[in-house]
Amino acid sequence: MDKNQQWQSLNKRLTSKFRAKTLLFGKGSLNSAVMLVSEYPNSEEAKKNKPLLGSHGKVVDKFLKNAGFTRRNIYITNAVKAVKNNGELPNPKEIKQFSQFLREEIKIIEPKVIIALGGISLRGLNVKLPLFNIRGRIIRFGTETLFATHHPSETAKNPKLQEEIEKDFSKLQTEIKNHLA
């Protein structure tokens, strides 16, 4: 099976397992060296079939542009594929249920660099360390390189995080260029 067939098969199994839920599947290049893992989709993102919309999506788009990427030449997914509404967060059971599918996505895409946005993304990746311990650092993650930072939506609650995210993205741009050279 080629990557596209594997990806379609994975999405069919997700749809079958989570029939009662609205899901948003990953988007972008199945051959990308960079995979960005966000936390979970909201209803607007699912409706438009596009992850990371709104102001936090603009932050990510700015980073991608500065690093020489677009949404088309990377792969963007969520740790939890089911839509969460009204500020509801995924519970540990949901994160665990979707983590097996996230691992399969990683096997299909075979990225060199995984960017985790937020703590839920880290838990979906089965990283046991809290975000504050590894934020802004490059760590080995199996055969991939993992880089974690705050999810841009956190700046709404704490505007000071905007500066940290910008510093992290700046550092990440350099690291991506080094790892993909």
- E strand or H helix at 144, and its extent? strand 144-149
Task: Decide if 24 contacts 37 (C-beta within 8 A).
Answer: no
User: 32 φ, ψ to 5°?
Assistant: -75, 145
Q: Where do the structural domains in the chain lie, given as residue ranges? A: 3-8+22-180
| pLDDT at 165 (0 to 100) | 85
| pLDDT at 40 (0 to 100) | 94
- Distance of alpha carbon 14 from its chain centroid, rounded? 17
User: 142 φ, ψ to 5°?
Assistant: 65, -125
How much is the pTM? 0.93
CATH code at 3-8+22-180: 3.40.470.10
Residues of the chain above pLDDT 90, percent: 59
Residue 180 has pLDDT above 80, yes or no: no
Encode pLDDT of 6-37 as tens digits.
Answer: 999 999 999 999 987 889 999 999 999 999 99
| pLDDT at 8 (0 to 100) | 96
Q: How many CB atoms within 10 Å of residue 99?
A: 16
